[in-house]
Structure 1
Amino acid sequence: MLREINDRAAIEVLLREGPLTRAELELAIGLSKPATAQLLTRLEQDALVVKAGVRGGGRGPRAQLWAANGSLAFVAAVDLTPHQADFVVADVAGVVLAEYRTPLPVHAGADVVGTFGEALQKVAGEAGIQREDLAHVVIGAQGAFDPRTGLLSSAPHIPGWLGFDVPQKLSDELGVDVLIENDVNLVAVEEMTVGMAQDVDDFVMVWLSEGVGGAVVIGRRLLRGATGGGGEIDWMRVPDPATVDTGDVWPEAGARFGNLVDSPAICRLAAAHGIEAGTAWEAVEKAGKGHPFLDDLARRVAGGVANLVAVADPQLVLLCGDTSRAGGEEFAALVQEKLHELVLPRTPVGCASVQGNAVRAGALQSALATTREDVFGVVTPTLLGSRRPEGDSTRPRSTSPDR
């Protein structure tokens, strides 16, 4: 048992830090020199680690480097949007082997499974493998995924992906294990891994871009909800605190939060303040510091965030998406100011820090976590994707056991 614990600890360090010398690994896991040497011999014989060149520099012989054996398994991650699909393939050690971007049909009646499979085959081929060699594929999509049924909802922008058991159908027809996850949940995964939330247990994310989304993390686990709707803040009913008339008429119960802070709504709010823009992020960039438009927008955002803070009392609120990025930390500070006028907790508000395609990056982290558990026995519960619940009456996925 102790040997297994030490082996797993060594692999965890190599996966996290990359190639290390024996001395560096010895220091990281706290074993003696002879014990570490025996551990590496054992792991090499089991093909779990491989020699990975040498560390140069200084006088004397160069030190041998050791790395987790990435060739044991391969994964893919995809950011699926109405405009394009962004693919990446990596080995189980996390080394990126190929990337591919292409528009895919998402309209009702389209052969979404077939065209997705063709794109997946192409990027796998560029990585030097076959599609069937992929141990796990994670797709990030703008919608709510119900793990009990495999259905996507709240995704009218990709109608071709609605009305069928997405992971089951893709897994069966493509011959690979497929999971689909909400895009903002995956951004939260990436922030927990390398971003602002690495040392935070409880936080919420609010995505402001063309549309609106959210994620809630409690105890470093995503709150997905009974039907996959955890964090779907778009449908919250909130009053409109704007100080100008935008021409919108809201129901007595209040506006949908998504109807207040999606891109078209923000453009109308900006126009009421004399700022003409084609997108929300353009409007935010045009507004100078202290512009009353930004005050009104911050009030709207804070009104929705206040509901999350009042219930979850998180340590941190992170804003992400194109609109949030355009406003930066100054806008986050303004939202924080307005938020503290509405709730008792003095929750800080900041901007997500991950650059590039955070949805795809989070999907890759999730795929790696699941595959590393299968290959190395290394478990990272924080990053594992949702699975169909055991004992569910619907047909289980045939390509991998439920967890």
Structure 2
Amino acid sequence: MRAGSPRMLREINDRAAIEVLLREGPLTRAELELAIGLSKPATAQLLTRLELDNLVTKAGVRGGGRGPRAQLWAANGGLAFVAAVDLTPHVADFVVADVAGVVLAEYRTPLPVHAGADVVGTFGEALQKVAEEAGIEREDLAHVVIGAQGAFDPRTGLLSSAPHIPGWLGFDVPQKLSDELGVDVLIENDVNLVAVEEMTVGMAQDVDDFVMVWLSEGVGGAVVIGRRLLRGATGGGGEIDWMRVPDPATVDTGDVWPAAGARFGNLVDSPAICRLAAAHGIQADTAWDAVAKTGPDHPFRHDLAKRVAGGVANLVAVADPQLVLLCGDTSRAGGEEFAALVQEKLHELVLPRTPVGCASVQGNAVRAGALQSALATTREDVFGVVTPTLLGSRRPEGDSTRPRPTSPNR
């Protein structure tokens, strides 16, 4: 096909229109015309063409004003359906949406994760239940993305660094789930998915390079370079738990660290922060409780900020990001005041004046990021709309016999 041919131009304009409708929701012809820069006749022809191809549908009318009500157009969400799951040791949080992003059903339930549990069977039952609540069958799901606290190796399908969900270890997770449940499944690190959500609707929308540090019961991280998640050769990109860093605390917490330094995860997970708080005379059951009990100038806060900054400094020294975002329960408890304190301590350790802030996405950011990833993959299959920053890490070609979904519209 010659560059600039009428057919190619139509395809470019069609994709541009669908991208706008997916991003903005239902629009009138005039609004779409303005968004994609086409003339009124060209936009009308485009909508007619897309409607005939079943890619867009009429979505009611917009009232208001003295003139006639304007027809609204939307991407056809009924062409495909996706599911997203936040899998934790305590509860699994499911959501099903159509390919336009309209949420159809949500479901929360505890799932067994202990060694020897039928994790595939119980997961499949929960997925079937939420699919039925959405008015579809489980097999109607084009793509399912699971967020889990661990590292996923796309070469082998194995989860690692996940002792809290032992039942999910030791087997090719996406392959087994896909084969036994009859749907295409991807599993992804939970903090990576939070980063995806921050890139989509949060503080990192206009940032090319940033890192995230998750502080909650445990510790996690994500690194984004050039708007792409850095996953690493074995899926361990951003697994900052194992970094060796010195303990800069000014009080004796009773911990004895090796000469090589403490594991970062052993310094800033919830039990470690509670011990640090106790050494400062603060009794708390969780790290976020300890942070909430103290003001921004409390010595405990300064010691904790030093610990966090010590780990962040390693990331900044290597990646030199534009932004560092703190997320998780502990970070939320401290808010922007704690982020500013971490920034102050960080700038004492590194040359770049990298800003430190708090992640802005509210609610279950892991599930929301999983949904964004599932939608991106499915939209590529259905509409040909590519969103590289949000695509999941599909297994390298040749490493899997699992067929890639094919849209009937392509």
**TM-score relative to the length of structure 2:** 0.96
1:135 aligns with 2:142: yes
SS of the residue corresponding to residue 309 of structure 2 reads helix
Q: CA deviation at 1:401?
A: 15
1:63 aligns with 2:63: no
Query: Are the aligned partners of 2:83 and 2:141 in contact in 1 as well (CA < 8 Å)?
Result: yes
Q: CA deviation at 1:82?
A: 0.1
Aligned to 1:177: 184
Query: 1:248-285 CA distances to partner (integer Å, 9 max, x unpaired)?
Result: 00001000000000000000000000000000000000
Partner Cα separation in structure 1 for residue 103 and residue 35 of structure 2 = 25
Partner Cα separation in structure 2 for residue 8 and residue 154 of structure 1 = 40
Partner Cα separation in structure 2 for residue 367 and residue 398 of structure 1 = 13
1:331 aligns with 2:324: no
Partner Cα separation in structure 2 for residue 400 and residue 392 of structure 1 = 22
Structure 1 pair 360–134 and aligned structure 2 pair: CA distance change class (3 A): same
How many residues are paired up?
403
Equivalence map 1:23-172=2 (5 Å)? 23-172=30-179
Higher mean C-alpha deviation, range 389-398 or range 226-235: 389-398
Q: CA deviation at 1:288?
A: 1.9
Query: 1:339-371 CA distances to partner (integer Å, 9 max, x unpaired)?
Result: 000000000000000000000000000000000
Partner Cα separation in structure 2 for residue 9 and residue 402 of structure 1 = 17
Query: 1:100-145 CA distances to partner (integer Å, 9 max, x unpaired)?
Result: 0000000000000000000000000000000000000000000000
Partner Cα separation in structure 1 for residue 83 and residue 59 of structure 2 = 23
Q: Percent identical across equivalent pairs?
A: 95
SS of the residue corresponding to residue 324 of structure 1 reads helix
Query: Are the aligned partners of 1:172 and 1:399 in contact in 2 as well (CA < 8 Å)?
Result: no
Query: Are the aligned partners of 1:21 and 1:66 in contact in 2 as well (CA < 8 Å)?
Result: yes
Query: Are the aligned partners of 2:142 and 2:405 in contact in 1 as well (CA < 8 Å)?
Result: no
User: Residue 23 of structure 2 is aligned with which of 16, 19, 26?
Assistant: 16
Query: Are the aligned partners of 1:73 and 1:371 in contact in 2 as well (CA < 8 Å)?
Result: yes
Aligned to 2:380: 373
Aligned to 2:325: 318
Partner Cα separation in structure 2 for residue 67 and residue 168 of structure 1 = 34
Q: Which structure 1 residue ranges, 4+ long, deviate > 4 Å from structure 2?
A: 393-403
Query: Are the aligned partners of 2:223 and 2:230 in contact in 1 as well (CA < 8 Å)?
Result: yes
Query: Are the aligned partners of 1:177 and 1:400 in contact in 2 as well (CA < 8 Å)?
Result: no
- Computed over aligned residues only, the root mean square deviation of the Cα atoms, in angstroms, reads 1.9
Partner Cα separation in structure 2 for residue 223 and residue 375 of structure 1 = 26
Structure 1 pair 165–399 and aligned structure 2 pair: CA distance change class (3 A): farther
1:238 aligns with 2:240: no
Partner Cα separation in structure 2 for residue 29 and residue 292 of structure 1 = 55
Query: Are the aligned partners of 1:144 and 1:232 in contact in 2 as well (CA < 8 Å)?
Result: yes
Structure 1 pair 398–227 and aligned structure 2 pair: CA distance change class (3 A): farther
SS of the residue corresponding to residue 95 of structure 2 reads strand
Structure 1 pair 198–130 and aligned structure 2 pair: CA distance change class (3 A): same
Q: CA deviation at 1:392?
A: 3.5
Query: Are the aligned partners of 2:57 and 2:73 in contact in 1 as well (CA < 8 Å)?
Result: yes
Partner Cα separation in structure 2 for residue 322 and residue 32 of structure 1 = 50
Q: CA deviation at 1:391?
A: 3.4
Partner Cα separation in structure 2 for residue 401 and residue 361 of structure 1 = 27
**TM-score relative to the length of structure 1:** 0.98
Structure 1 pair 285–401 and aligned structure 2 pair: CA distance change class (3 A): farther
Structure 1 pair 238–10 and aligned structure 2 pair: CA distance change class (3 A): same
Aligned to 1:303: 310
Aligned to 1:341: 348
Query: Are the aligned partners of 1:390 and 1:402 in contact in 2 as well (CA < 8 Å)?
Result: no
Q: CA deviation at 1:396?
A: 7.8
Query: Are the aligned partners of 2:382 and 2:407 in contact in 1 as well (CA < 8 Å)?
Result: no
SS of the residue corresponding to residue 149 of structure 1 reads coil
Partner Cα separation in structure 1 for residue 330 and residue 408 of structure 2 = 40
Structure 1 pair 401–142 and aligned structure 2 pair: CA distance change class (3 A): farther
SS of the residue corresponding to residue 328 of structure 1 reads helix
Q: CA deviation at 1:387?
A: 1.2
Query: Are the aligned partners of 2:381 and 2:405 in contact in 1 as well (CA < 8 Å)?
Result: no
Q: CA deviation at 1:388?
A: 1.1
Structure 1 pair 42–210 and aligned structure 2 pair: CA distance change class (3 A): same
Partner Cα separation in structure 2 for residue 213 and residue 339 of structure 1 = 18
SS of the residue corresponding to residue 106 of structure 1 reads coil
Structure 1 pair 10–216 and aligned structure 2 pair: CA distance change class (3 A): same
Q: CA deviation at 1:150?
A: 0.1
Structure 1 pair 186–214 and aligned structure 2 pair: CA distance change class (3 A): same
Query: Are the aligned partners of 2:245 and 2:264 in contact in 1 as well (CA < 8 Å)?
Result: yes
Q: CA deviation at 1:289?
A: 2.5
Q: CA deviation at 1:325?
A: 0.1
Q: Gaps spanning 5+ residues in structure 1: where? A: none
Query: Are the aligned partners of 1:208 and 1:322 in contact in 2 as well (CA < 8 Å)?
Result: yes
Partner Cα separation in structure 2 for residue 278 and residue 314 of structure 1 = 34
Higher mean C-alpha deviation, range 390-399 or range 205-214: 390-399
Partner Cα separation in structure 1 for residue 220 and residue 186 of structure 2 = 19
SS of the residue corresponding to residue 88 of structure 1 reads strand
